[in-house]
């Protein structure tokens, strides 16, 4: 059983992870990006994918420094925040606009486009985030025990490969099955999975720096030897 203690930066990091999730899910989906990359060519992706992989870096940091239990709690906080944002977006969009205000004639359609996700996308996003992040933290926690805390890069990259794979195979079929051809759906899911994993690999030095600084500051380096890995508890 983990000895209860408080940490200086844990709550701040939870707030930061929630901010990233809300930005990637509320702002990002409203824009599709086309980039011409060297040796790759044209790459198309939702703008939110620029930010969403950072949430996995937060998950790596939580698990590596504070353990799976506190990472799981942060995931549930993020899930609750996304659910609340989705409900509030729906409520605000469905409230009748004042016809006496001319600006509403411009504002309401813009809000519908920017924040009017279908129920399929909202459910898919919530489910994929919850499952993918839990898998990411679980794999990292288990790998840390196996590697005895060495080779951090293998855990951050390996856990992201697993977590983002689960995220992609849940989100894209739930969101777009029946709307896109199967080959197109598979291509979109695979390309976005590779993009997100690439972001994790590129930012590995940043993850190393933050993890090492937090371990020194918090005097924490948790190993999940006897952890209850059930996703349906908030026990630490």
Domain boundaries, the chain: 10-96+119-218
Query: Which pLDDT score is estimated for 1?
Result: 47
User: Each residue of 98-140: pLDDT tens digit?
Assistant: 988 888 888 888 888 777 776 888 899 999 999 999 999 999 9
Residues near 207 by beta carbon (within 8 Å), at least 6 away in sequence: 57, 60, 61, 152, 156, 200
- Residue from 50, 48, 54 nearest 13 by CA: 54
Q: How far is it, in rounded angstroms, from Cα 207 to Cα 158?
A: 14
Instruction: Write out residues in the chain with pLDDT < 70, as ranges.
Output: 1-4, 28-32, 44-46, 118
Give the bridge partners for 43, in sequence order.
35
**CATH topology classification for 10-96+119-218:** Arp2/3 complex 21 kDa subunit ARPC3 (1.10.1760)
What is the pLDDT at residue 3? 54
Rounded CA Rg of the chain: 19
Residue 120 near residue 164, CB atoms below 8 Å:
no
Q: Which two tokens stand for residue 216?
A: 């020194």
Q: Which residues are registered as beta bridge partners of 41?
A: 37
pLDDT at position 118: 67
Q: Whole-prediction pTM value?
A: 0.90
């Amino acid at each position: 059983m983990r000895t209860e203690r408080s940490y200086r930066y844990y709550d701040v990091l939870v707030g930061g992870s929630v901010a990233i999730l809300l930005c990637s899910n509320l702002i990002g989906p409203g824009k599709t990006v086309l980039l011409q990359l060297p040796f790759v060519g044209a790459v198309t992706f939702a703008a939110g994918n620029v930010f969403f992989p950072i949430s996995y870096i937060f998950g790596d940091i939580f698990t590596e420094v504070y353990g799976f239990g506190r990472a799981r709690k942060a995931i549930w906080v993020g899930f609750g925040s996304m659910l609340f944002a989705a409900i509030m977006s729906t409520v605000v969009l469905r409230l009748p606009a004042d016809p006496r205000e001319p600006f509403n004639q411009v504002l309401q359609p813009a809000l519908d486009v920017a924040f009017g996700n279908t129920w399929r996308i909202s459910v898919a996003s919530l489910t994929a985030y919850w499952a993918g992040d839990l898998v990411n933290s679980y794999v990292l926690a288990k790998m840390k025990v196996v590697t005895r805390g060495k080779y951090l890069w293998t855990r951050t990259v390996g856990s992201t490969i697993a977590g983002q794979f689960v995220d992609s195979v849940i989100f894209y079929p739930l969101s777009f099955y029946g709307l896109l051809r199967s080959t197109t759906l598979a291509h979109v899911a695979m390309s976005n999975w590779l993009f997100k994993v690439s972001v994790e690999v590129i930012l590995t030095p940043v993850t190393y720096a933050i993890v090492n600084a937090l371990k020194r500051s918090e005097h924490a380096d948790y190993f999940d030897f006897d952890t209850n890995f059930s996703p349906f508890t908030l026990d630490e």
